[in-house]
C-alpha cells in the first residue's frame, strides 16, 4: 500500500451542488497532485500543491479549487457541479516538485445526477 488515503470513497451529488474531497499524503511527502479520471480514459491533471501553494494547474475551470494544509494533507473543492464532473478523483503524493515518482490513493468516485 502507498499510505495515501482519500475520503470519502464514494459520493453522490446533484447538479449545482458543491463537494469537498480529502487526501492524506504519504509520510515524508510534501506534494499532492489531483487528477480526474473519466471512465475509459487516463487520469487528467487538475492541479498540484507543494508546501501549501498551488504549483501548476491543468485545463480545469476555476470552480475546481484546492488547499494544502501544514501537515501536507489536501482538499479538492468543486463548485456548481455538472454531470460531466462524474469521475474517479485521484490524489497522488510525492516528495518535492518536478519529476519524482507519484503514488496514488484509492480515489473518490463522484457521481453527479
Partner 1 sequence: RKEVEQDPGPFNVPEGATVAFNCTYSNSASQSFFWYRQDCRKEPKLLMSVYSSGNEDGRFTAQLNRASQYISLLIRDSKLSDSATYLCVVNRGGSQGNLIFGKGTKLSVKP
Residues that bind partner 1 (CB under 8 A): 2, 31, 33, 35, 40-45, 48, 55-56, 58, 88, 90, 92, 94, 96-107, 109
Q: Which is nearer to partner 1, 16 or 96 (CB)?
A: 96
Cell of 21: 474531497
Query: How far apart are CB 20 and partner 1 at their closest, in Å?
Result: 19
Q: Which is nearer to partner 1, 16 or 61 (CB)?
A: 61
Check if the beta carbon of residue 82 is closer than 8 Å to that of residue 112: yes
Q: Which is nearer to partner 1, 12 or 80 (CB)?
A: 12
Query: How far apart are CB 1 and partner 1 at their closest, in Å?
Result: 10
The DSSP bridge pattern shows strands 31-37 and 44-50 to be antiparallel
Q: Which is nearer to partner 1, 33 or 112 (CB)?
A: 33
Angle (nearest 5°) at CA 66 between 24 and 58: 105
Query: How far apart are CB 37 and partner 1 at their closest, in Å?
Result: 8
Q: What is the DSSP string of 52-91?
A: TEEEEE-S--TTEEEEE-TTS-EEEEE-S--GGG-EEEEE
Query: How far apart are CB 92 and partner 1 at their closest, in Å?
Result: 7
- Alpha-carbon distance of 71 to 81, in angstroms, equals 28
Amino acid at each position: 500500500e502507498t499510505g495515501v488515503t482519500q475520503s470519502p470513497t464514494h459520493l453522490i451529488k446533484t447538479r449545482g451542488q458543491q463537494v469537498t474531497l480529502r487526501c492524506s499524503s504519504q509520510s515524508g511527502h510534501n506534494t499532492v497532485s489531483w487528477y480526474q479520471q473519466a471512465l475509459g480514459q487516463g487520469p487528467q491533471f487538475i492541479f498540484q500543491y507543494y508546501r501549501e501553494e498551488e504549483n501548476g494547474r491543468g485545463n480545469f475551470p476555476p470552480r475546481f479549487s484546492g488547499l494544502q494544509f501544514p501537515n501536507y494533507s489536501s482538499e479538492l473543492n468543486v463548485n456548481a457541479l455538472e454531470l460531466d464532473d462524474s469521475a474517479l478523483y485521484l490524489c497522488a503524493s510525492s516528495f518535492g516538485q518536478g519529476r519524482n515518482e507519484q503514488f496514488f490513493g484509492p480515489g473518490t468516485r463522484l457521481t453527479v445526477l
